[in-house]
C-alpha cells in the first residue's frame, strides 16, 4: 500500500511516541499519563504493513528500532490492540533482523 506524504508524517510522529515508550520500558519506568493518553488513539498504527514501516525504520539506528519494537509491543499489550499475525511489531522485528 502506498502512503501519502501526510500519512508518512503521521507514522513518523507515532513512531516517535512508540520509541519514547520503548526507551522508558528499557529503563523499567512507566510512561507518564500524558504519553499514554497520546498513544491510546493510535491503535491504527498497529495494523500497518511492512512497506509502511520500512521507510520510517530506514531512518533509525538499530538501538532506536529496538525501542520502537518495545514501544509497539508495550502499547499492543497495554491497550489490548488487535494486530495478531499482522501487528506492526512483527514487521518492525523483521526489518530489524533483515534491514
Cell (9 digits) for 58: 530506514
Range of the domain at 86: 5-97
Tens digit of each residue's pLDDT (9 = 90 or more) over 23-56:
999 999 999 999 999 999 999 999 999 999 999 9
Torsion sign across C-alpha atoms 95, 33, 26, 23 = positive
- Number of domains observed in the structure of the chain: 1
Residue 98 CA, distance from chain mean position = 17
Q: Average of pLDDT values for 64-91?
A: 94
Q: Average of pLDDT values for 54-64?
A: 95
Q: Average of pLDDT values for 68-73?
A: 97
Residue 83 burial (CB count, 10 A): 18
Amino acid at each position: 500500500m502506498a502512503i501519502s506524504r501526510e500519512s508518512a508524517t503521521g507514522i513518523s510522529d507515532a513512531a516517535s511516541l512508540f520509541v519514547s515508550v520503548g526507551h522508558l520500558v528499557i529503563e523499567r519506568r512507566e510512561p507518564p499519563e500524558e504519553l499514554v493518553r497520546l498513544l491510546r488513539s493510535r491503535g491504527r498504527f498497529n495494523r500497518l504493513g511492512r512497506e509502511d514501516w520500512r521507510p520510517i525504520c530506514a531512518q533509525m539506528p538499530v538501538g532506536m528500532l529496538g525501542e520502537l519494537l518495545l514501544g509497539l509491543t508495550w502499547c499492543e499489550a497495554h491497550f489490548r490492540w488487535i494486530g495478531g499475525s499482522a501487528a506492526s511489531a512483527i514487521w518492525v522485528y523483521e526489518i530489524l533482523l533483515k534491514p
